[in-house]
Amino acid sequence: MPEAAALEALCFSSGWTAVQFFDAWTEDWFAGYGLFEDGRMLGYIVLSVVCEEMEVLNIAILPEYRGRGLSYPLMFFAMKDTLEGRHLLRKGKAGEGWTSGYLEVRVGNAAARALYESLGFREAGSRKKYYADGEDALIMTIDVEHFRTAEERRSKGRAERRNVTVHAH
């Protein structure tokens, strides 16, 4: 998907190439989702699901659309879809979703940390000097119970919706 690779290059200094995205989409462990408005990709998320463990590999939103509440519905949809194993069903495979998951986030990225906590992730550790610039990464983990609790909170207090759609790939 060229749009994801272009957004990746815009948001990350050492991101995936279009070829890497294409190759990953053919793998059973890979799940990718795009957030679109009027046919334009505003963001994407990619996850890995192996042996019932989910890893959030990357999430990106166009810089001019950040801070507008778009990451939550994108990430929520992707996590729910993979939890229920639908990412595999679309590939013609039977399979299970995840029972636990994790991600790494920059210690200094307070907005991302707040997003992840709102989805049920909890701090679990750190990786010293994980990023190329020497910044530490915070490891955050989640289980199904914490995600379901976040899902219940979401259904009780839905925010105003934009006219955006999430597409699974």
- The range of the structural domain enclosing residue 112 comes to 2-164
Q: 103 in a domain, yes or no?
A: yes
For residue 122, tell me if it sits in a domain.
yes
pLDDT digits (tens, 9 = 90+) for 105-124: 999 999 999 999 999 999 99
Is residue 87, in this structure, part of any structural domain at all?
A: yes
In a domain, 144, yes or no: yes
At CB < 8 A and 24+ separation, what contacts does 74-77 make?
74/33, 74/35, 74/43, 74/44, 74/45, 74/166, 75/45, 75/115, 75/119, 76/119, 76/150, 76/151, 76/154, 77/33, 77/166
Instruction: Give a yes or no: residue 169 inside a domain.
Output: no
The catalytic residues are 104, 116
- pLDDT of 160 reads 46
Q: Is residue 22 part of a domain?
A: yes
Task: Count the domains in the chain.
Answer: 1
- How do residues 32-71 score in pLDDT, each as one tens digit? 999 999 989 999 999 999 999 999 999 999 999 999 999 9
> Does residue 104 sit within a domain?
yes
pLDDT digits (tens, 9 = 90+) for 66-106: 999 999 999 999 999 999 999 999 889 987 899 999 999 99
